């Protein structure tokens, strides 16, 4: 990043504005290059991940938009695949991923992007009504 730049000063004047814009663009370019070099997946687990995890881990990996209670309800209704050892629920990552993908394909559950899109549409309608 650019140290000792015009951007570090408290005030940008009309005379220094072109230099400040150039520094902002250079910094933005550096940030974009760093982003492009990041790994493409935040979840390095393979698609054939056949391990068993608890409810907190399955929420992180497969169902981040769901609350714990939703997962418990799906298990109670027999909709979501799980195993039970004593009172602890365990989830096979591969089976849950396949179940989720099947549900998404059949449009029985919504993806995060679908939920975000519906929320944006709702807020747009609300803004127009005001």
pTM: 0.52
Query: Which residues touch 65 (CB under 8 Å, ≥6 apart)?
Result: 112, 115
Which pLDDT score is estimated for 126? Answer: 85
Backbone angles phi, psi at 118, to 5 degrees: -65, -40
pLDDT tens column, 2-42: 455 666 666 788 888 888 888 888 888 888 788 777 765 55
- Beta carbons of 41 and 61 less than 8 angstroms apart: no
Q: What is the pLDDT of residues 111-124, one digit of tens each?
A: 778 888 888 888 88
DSSP 14: T
């Amino acid at each position: 990043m650019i140290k000792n730049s015009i951007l570090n000063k408290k005030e940008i004047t009309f005379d220094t504005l072109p230099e400040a814009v150039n520094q902002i663009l250079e910094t933005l370019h550096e940030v974009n290059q760093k982003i492009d070099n990041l790994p493409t997946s935040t979840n390095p687990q393979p698609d054939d991940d056949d391990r068993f995890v608890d409810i907190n881990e399955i929420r992180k990996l497969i169902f981040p938009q769901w609350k714990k209670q939703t997962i418990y309800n799906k298990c109670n209704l027999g909709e979501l695949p799980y195993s039970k050892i004593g009172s602890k629920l365990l989830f096979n990552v591969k089976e849950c991923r396949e179940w989720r993908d099947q549900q998404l394909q059949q449009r029985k559950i919504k993806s995060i992007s679908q939920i975000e899109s519906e929320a944006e549409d709702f807020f747009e309608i609300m803004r127009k009504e005001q």
